[in-house]
Structures are given as structure tokens and as C-alpha cells.
Amino acid sequence: MSLLDIRVPAVLLRIDRNPFHHGTLGAVRSLGRAGVEVHVVADSTGSPVRRSRFVRQLHPPPAPGASTAEIAAVLQGVAARVGRPAVLIPMDDASAIAVGRLRADLAPAYLLPQQPGTLPEQVADKAELAEVCAAVGIPHPQTLVPDSAEQAAGAAWRLGLPVVAKWSRPWLVPAGSGLRSTVVVRSAREARELFLRAEEAGSRLLLQEFLPPGPDRDWFFHGYADRTGAVRAGGPGRKQRAWPRGAGLTAVGLWTPNPQVQALAERITGELGFRGIFDLDFRRCGTTGQYHLLDFNPRPGAQFRLFADGAGLDVVRALHLDLTQRPLPAGVPLAGRAFVVENYAPLCALLPAPRGRELAWSAPDDRGPGLAMWALWSRHVAGRLLDRLSHAATAPAPPPRSAVVRQAGEPAGERTTERTAEPVRTGLDEELSGLTDRSEMSDDEKASSC
């Protein structure tokens, strides 16, 4: 007998277009295995998710750039087809923000956590998150928000190059613009030029202190804040491999106890009165040892299934149980459990996992998505490779790289570079990352704060 109330269906909403979003599949499987009827409102064209046997019905998503009113109309149409109240689970930042704004309009057709409707937008906004962290005393990289191109250049010097440049509201960055939500800036000129594209990006540019990556420095915390504010399910994890390397999503993660990260997660959600599923990203400073909060995502992280405990509880099931007034079981944390996204870290998926491992796509009780993923991914990589070869054959020879020069009056240790060499990539995973156009990534795939 299921712990969940299987009379209450679930509706997963994803506005961002990304056929390879494994977090959506994780939510489908988690609830479907428990007997819950799962509906998916997302662009499923060419997506392995549509092949899952646990999907009850696929529904067309809102059009790209849809207004809040248009998103509400889509969800109300889905509610009419489902025919009874359902738990609504946003799967990306844009969805979480829209649902937060629409909470009153969506009731009683959808069950949602009770919290201020503007809170998801506040924590997802990178500039506002910096202010929140300062207000509640959570470590956060020093952040400056320039008001002009010249201020952007000055802020880059003040923070010390290189610096991290972010668009405060990455979900507004238009597809195909070539802009990335986060990029490492290595000269004042780059910062100035990036600021001039703020109108195109649709949000403010912020510059942030660069915290260098290193072994055991990248951490995340997934959790569910229940109706009382207590953090349930989830836990702290350590990023062992990222895609792209050193600055992207978790390709290999390990459930690793960390009281400091746990305390920071409970502190910020408690201070804000946050309710619902959240995904936090941290980086440990190699100098001070402090864990800096880099991102607060008000929705499930793509690797949330890493934290399925001994009772089978994860953050998605915790949400369903809590909103349907069911008790949450106290499961045993499975420290050492691994999560592998096999198309980004194929070799790691073959290594022994003595404490258990979950793959993002492949599952013995739901083989369709895994088979579809490999077929689609092979076609995707082959297409990128052919495109690269075509461009290489027709592109003119690159101009010689400029030398690194020290500017007059430049403080010791700071440099301006006109051009910087690309880092050398090695290994199968890095080759795959090089064959994928990063400008087409979802919010989960774009580079993180560092």
C-alpha cells in the first residue's frame, strides 16, 4: 500500500525548453512508482521523458515568452482535463516564479505550499539573493551591481580579476542570443561590453567575487520545508564531477553528511519563511573554509533523486505527502549514495557503487527513457560534430593572440588580457561538453556562479 494519497494526481510544469532535463523524469518516476497519476506540462518533443511508462498524460506547455495570464490559462485548462485537485510541482525557475504569482488564481484546482507569492522570485533573482544573504548573515561572494558600463569596468577591477558576471534573472535571457546566465570575466573591457547588453538580457548585470574551484569545494543541498517550516527529506551532497567541467550541473554527485551546509540551509529557509522544495548551491572558500551560498533555486534540483532515503522519501514525495495531509516517514539517510547523469559522465556510470547509485535516465523498471536518451544524444552529438567540422573547414585562420600586458598604474597581481587561451579539455566527458552548444542550455545546465 502506498504511503501517498494516490487519489490526488500530480502535475509537473516546466516552461524552459530542454529535452534532456532528467529532473523531470526523476519526478515522474518518483511519484509514478508510488501509484500517483502524473501529468506533464512541458515541451516533450524529442524528449526521452515522453517514453516513461509512469506518465499518464502529456500536455502542451505555455508558448515561449508567455505572460503570467497565458500560463494561468494553460494550467486551468490542464486542471479541467485532470478533473480533480492536483499537486502542482514547478520544475524550473520560470515555472516556480509564475506559480508563486498565480497561487491565489490556481486554488483550489491545485495544491501548493503556503508562502508569500513573491518569495520564489526574490530568491531566484541573483541580485536580490545577495541582499538576502547580507541581511541574514549567510556567507555569499562579494557582489556589485553596476549602473553603467564604466561602473562595470571599475567593479571588475575592485573585485579583482577574474570575476563572475551574472544576469540577475537568468530565466529572462532570450534563447539564441549567445548570452549565458553566468560567465567568468577576465578583463575590465569584457565587463564593460557585457553591461551594454543588459537590455537584451532583460535584467541587471551583477559582478561577483570569483571563488576558485577545487577538490571538495562544490556542494549542494536539496530539501523540503514543510508547513511548519521544518526541513524534511533531502540532504547535503558533494559535486564530484560537473558538466561543463568545474562550472556546470552535477554530472556525478555523492550524498555526503555536512553539518555546516545543513545548518546554513535550515537557517536561510527559516529566516525567509520559505515553504516547499528548494535546491541550494554552495562553494567552499579555499582560504577561509566558509561555505558561500551561490544559488537558491525554488524548485527541485535535477539530481534530487540522489536523496531518496531508506523509507523511499525524496523531496517530491515529501511535498505530495505534506500537501495531502499525510505524515512523512522518518527514513534513514543513505550517506555515500551516488547519482550519475550517464550522458555527461558515461564512464562513471560503469564504476562500482558499493553504497548504491541512481542513474538519471536508465532504470530497470522504466527502460524506455534510457534507450531513447542514448539514441537522441548520439544524434545530438553527431550533429554538433558535423557542424564543428563544417565550420572548421570554412573558417578563416584565427588572428594571433595578443600578449598579456600590465596597464600603467595597475596594482600588483591584477592583469588585463585582450584574449585568453581556452582551457585544455581531456577525457570523454569534456569532449561531449565541447560538442554541445552551451547557449541552448537550460537554467540547470548553464554555468553556475563560479
Rounded to whole angstroms, the Cα distance separating 433 from 322 reads: 39
Query: 167 forms bridges with which residues in the sheet?
Result: 205
Residue 315, pLDDT score: 98
pTM recorded for the entire structure: 0.87
DSSP string of 316-359, one letter each residue: HHHHHHHHTT-PPP-PPP-TT-EEE-TTTSTTGGGS--TT-EEE
Question: Three cell numbers at 421?
Answer: 587561451
- Written as tens digits, the pLDDT of the chain (450 aa) is 789 999 999 999 999 988 889 999 999 999 999 999 999 999 988 899 999 999 999 999 999 889 999 999 999 999 999 999 999 999 999 999 999 999 999 999 999 999 999 999 999 999 999 999 999 999 999 999 999 999 999 999 999 999 999 999 999 999 889 999 999 999 999 999 999 999 999 999 999 999 999 999 999 999 999 999 999 999 999 999 998 776 679 999 999 999 999 999 999 999 999 999 999 999 999 999 999 999 999 999 999 999 999 999 999 999 999 999 999 999 999 999 999 999 999 999 999 999 999 999 999 999 999 999 999 988 878 888 888 888 787 766 655 543 333 333 333 333 333 333 333 333 334 333 444 443 344 444 333 333
Say how many residues make up the chain: 450
Residue 65, pLDDT score: 87
Rounded to whole angstroms, the Cα distance separating 315 from 404 reads: 49
**Which residues have C-beta within 8 Å of that of residue 361, sequence separation ≥ 6?**
22, 25, 48, 341, 342, 343, 369, 370, 373, 374
- Judge if the upstream peptide bond of residue 213 is cis by omega within 30 degrees of 0: no
Residue 423, pLDDT score: 35
Burial class for 39, CB neighbours closer than 10 Å (0-12, 13-18, 19+): buried
Question: Three cell numbers at 393?
Answer: 573547414
Q: What is the pLDDT of residues 318-358, one digit of tens each?
A: 999 999 999 999 999 999 999 999 999 999 999 999 999 99
Residue 186 backbone phi and psi in degrees, to 5: -115, 5
Of the CA atoms within 13 Å of residue 22, those in its CB half-sphere come to 26
**Which residues have C-beta within 8 Å of that of residue 73, sequence separation ≥ 6?**
none
Tell me the H-state helices in 54-146.
68-82, 93-106, 119-124, 126-136
Query: 295 forms bridges with which residues in the sheet?
Result: 281
Answer yes or no: are the C-beta atoms of 241 and 429 closer than 8 Å: yes
